[in-house]
Amino acid sequence: MLLRFKMVEAALNHTAVEVEAPSTRPSDYFGVKVFGRNVMRKYLDKPTYDALLNTMDNGTPLSLELADSVAAGMRQWALDNGADHYTHWFQPLTGGTAEKHDSFSDPDGKGLVIESFSGKVLAQQEPDASSFPNGGIRNTFEARGYSAWDPTSPAFIVDTTLCIPTVFIAYTGEALDYKVPLLRSISAVDKAATEVCHYFDKNVNRVYTYLGWEQEYFLVDESLWAARPDLVLTGRTLMGHESAKNQQLEDHYFGAIPARVINFMKELEYESLKLGIPVKTRHNEAAPGQFELAPVYEEANLANDHNQLLMTIMDKIARRHRFRVLLHEKPFKGINGSGKHNNWSLGTDTGVNLFGPGKTPSENLQFITFLVNVIAAVHRHNGLLKAAIMSATNIHRLGSNEAPPAIISTFLGSQISSVLDKLERSTSDDAIRFDAKSVLKMSGISQIPSILLDNTDRNRTSPFAFTGNRFEFRAVGSSDNCAEAIITLCAATAEQLTEFKHEVDAKIERGMKKDKAIYESLKRMIRECKSIHFDGNGYSEEWKQEAARRGLDCETSAPLIFDRYLDDKSIKMFGDTGVYSRVEVEARTEVKWETYTKKIQIEARVLGDITMNNIIPVASKYESVLLDKAYKMKELGLNYESDIELIRDIQGHTSAIQRLVGEMIEARKVANRIEDQREKAIKYHDTVAIYLDQIRDHIDKMEEVIDDQLWPLPKYRELLFIR
Ligand code: ADP
Ligand code: MG
């Protein structure tokens, strides 16, 4: 039997895997695998516990002595919970997480082993930086890298390994991961936002960054997946004719979840909750085989660790259920791809959400101040924000009528838009009045809370939408590390808030009343950043033209989009906020180009292999069957024209494919000779990637006419529907 049919049969035999129903309520097992505050109190003595809390909450350095005590408590807890190894768990620029497990046991030199785990080992390790993407930092300096404990994200146990969240830096101090710049950007926005908050409330000491991600993914049966080398090696199907039925009936979104999938979700949620990931929502997504999982939002550093961890455990649990998880942004042509909406907000230690409209005019001015500053930041760095979410994989999703085009704009909704319009149009005399307590009164503004709170407009076509009390960055890709988007957002916002503060302070120094000074600056900003505001249909053709007229970044070539990282204004912004040094920006951009090239190179190789090894031979086989038939028909004096037509059709495709594959290989050879990573990526984009769709078109057309019994690869209609 044809391999494909064997796999389809195997898939049909995969039934729902029983999952152990948790015997207790989520509140009983939530976080049981986390070295959280409750556990710390039990396993650490009081001075150590207090010191560690101080480090976690206020960033106070921990002495090596105290680190030793923490390590001892952590080790005991880990051993009590069945762990026998530990690892520094970090997020290199590969996009995944990295871990190297060491045993807790050490020979004691007298023929016995002892369990050892010191504060030094907890705090720092030395992985080889040259084995991870580093953008050339290792060439100029040393290959050594350090991973160092991030006490603000708690350690946790996966299987029998204690995982310690760490940052990863070069010997010379440059960041080689996502966590370092994320922490820096969170601290930059904290500092800048806290100062601006002081215009409104002197009691604010700290501003937190919050992130709530929504993870979209596909599930595919493991047997069918294994019979598709393109899925196995690139994460997406490089060929495959559309299924007659896919998502056009809109019957999958929020539909009933199949038993096999529900069991997978249940186990995933159980494991997530034990690891302290506050998962909350699950549902079918728009495409068949597509689903979503979302937790409750958390402080951004922790939320991002949780997303990274989730992506890892998803994969493990899916295998148990004979599925594979596809996190690729566009695994199937013609149906929706997967994103990862990043819901982002800033909140004070006094419990105020800075993106939430308040109850009093002063709170509302604070809200409008933060809103307008974010819009101004996004306006100034729209090209860079696009670069932050761009990749060889996410580019497929953006602009294919399911996600916004590769243009960043902000959606504000009718209420906020009219408030900003009013603010902008009003002259200072008629709109601004101060009452006895010098509280600002603006017509229109005081109505915001009642109108807004029950009316959050939705516009799913916007890449960056204000949704009532947060911004939703929807352009982020499903496989992305959220940090990249959040780093850029926080850094750009920090820069903007700092500038705003300088400007307003200068006006106040010149004798202007504070509220009036704020109001005047906001008016100017609203006027200047108008072009970023777009509430219309982001999927439309007209928007692309309109955006170009407005001067927004409309570049669609990923390697050129990465250039935005190296713009003077980007380097300055990252430098001023302390998020990246120039060397770091350059190194990371280098990694982006290199990764882009490698991904296209792998896709081109895989497509070439499958085409020549699987598709062309099958086409030839079918052609010879048809030729044989035509001969016999001719002998019998029957009409064989239609058979000849079919043969011509197939022959046309196979010869075109062979020519195109040859050309693609030549194009690769030329591109591979280029040393410069940027030039090479551009060459790959312009001269290699273009063949992928051309070749695919011919294959997909042949799939329609060649005998189903011969077709070597599982088809879309088999891959997409989980039974
Ligand atoms: P959608 O309607 O877009 O599917 P949901 O209502 O399911 O979104 O929420 C999406 C995510 O937004 C969740 O993770 C939720 O916790 C998060 N979220 C809600 N409020 C905030 C906020 N103020 N800041 C950050 N994230 C938030
Ligand atoms: Mg959403």
Tens digits of residue pLDDT in 184-220: 999 999 999 999 999 999 999 999 999 999 999 999 9
The DSSP code sequence of 303-342 is: HHHHHHHHHHHHHHHHHHTTEEEE--S-SSTTS---BEEE
Q: What pLDDT was estimated at residue 451?
A: 46
Calculate how far, in angstroms, residue 614's C-alpha sits from the geometric centre of ligand 2.
40
Which residue type is seen at 155?
Answer: A
DSSP state of 614: I
Facing residues of 107 across strands?
Answer: 113
Separation of alpha carbons 407 and 474, rounded Å: 12
Q: Is 332 in the pocket of ligand 1 (CB under 6 A)?
A: no
Q: Is 601 in the pocket of ligand 1 (CB under 6 A)?
A: no
Q: Is 187 in the pocket of ligand 1 (CB under 6 A)?
A: no
What whole-number percentage of the chain has pLDDT above 90?
A: 72
Which residue type is seen at 175?
Answer: A
pLDDT per position as a tens digit, 342-384: 999 999 999 999 998 877 767 788 999 999 999 999 999 999 9
Q: What pLDDT was estimated at residue 454?
A: 43
Measure Cα distances from 353 to 61, 186, 569 in Å. 29, 16, 29
Model confidence at 438, pLDDT cuts 50, 70, 90, reads: very low
pLDDT per position as a tens digit, 570-586: 999 999 999 999 999 99
Separation of alpha carbons 461 and 308, rounded Å: 26
pLDDT per position as a tens digit, 492-524: 999 999 999 999 999 999 999 998 899 899 999
Separation of alpha carbons 543 and 546, rounded Å: 5
The Cβ of residue 703 has, within 10 Å, a number of other Cβ atoms equal to 19
Please measure the distance between the N-terminal and C-terminal CA atoms of the chain and give it in whole angstroms: 22
Calculate how far, in angstroms, residue 286's C-alpha sits from the geometric centre of ligand 1.
19
Evaluate whether 354 touches 194 at the Cβ level (below 8 Å): no
**In sequence order, what are the residues at sequence separation of 6 or more whose Cβ sits closer than 8 angstroms to the Cβ of residue 624?**
none
Distance of CA 178 to the CA centre of its chain: 12
pLDDT per position as a tens digit, 109-122: 777 766 678 888 89
Calculate how far, in angstroms, residue 603's C-alpha sits from the geometric centre of ligand 1.
35
Q: Is 345 in the pocket of ligand 1 (CB under 6 A)?
A: yes
Separation of alpha carbons 555 and 708, rounded Å: 41
Element (H, E) at 214: strand 207-221
Task: Answer positive or negative: Cα dihedral of 11, 14, 20, 21.
Answer: positive
Residues with CB under 5 A from ligand 2 (ion): 214, 341
Q: How buried is residue 101: exposed, middle or buried, by Cβ count under 10 Å (0-12/13-18/19+)?
A: middle
Q: What pLDDT was estimated at residue 26?
A: 87
The Cβ of residue 96 has, within 10 Å, a number of other Cβ atoms equal to 14
- Among all bound ligands, the one having the nearest atom to the CA of 283 is 1
Ligand 1 pocket test target in 210, 254, 277, 343 with most atoms within 8 Å of CB: 343
Q: Is 294 in the pocket of ligand 1 (CB under 6 A)?
A: yes
Q: Is 264 in the pocket of ligand 1 (CB under 6 A)?
A: no
Separation of alpha carbons 79 and 632, rounded Å: 77
The Cβ of residue 257 has, within 10 Å, a number of other Cβ atoms equal to 17
pLDDT per position as a tens digit, 452-481: 544 455 677 889 999 889 999 999 999 999
Q: Is 343 in the pocket of ligand 1 (CB under 6 A)?
A: yes
Separation of alpha carbons 273 and 266, rounded Å: 11
Token pair in block for residue 215 = 């993870």
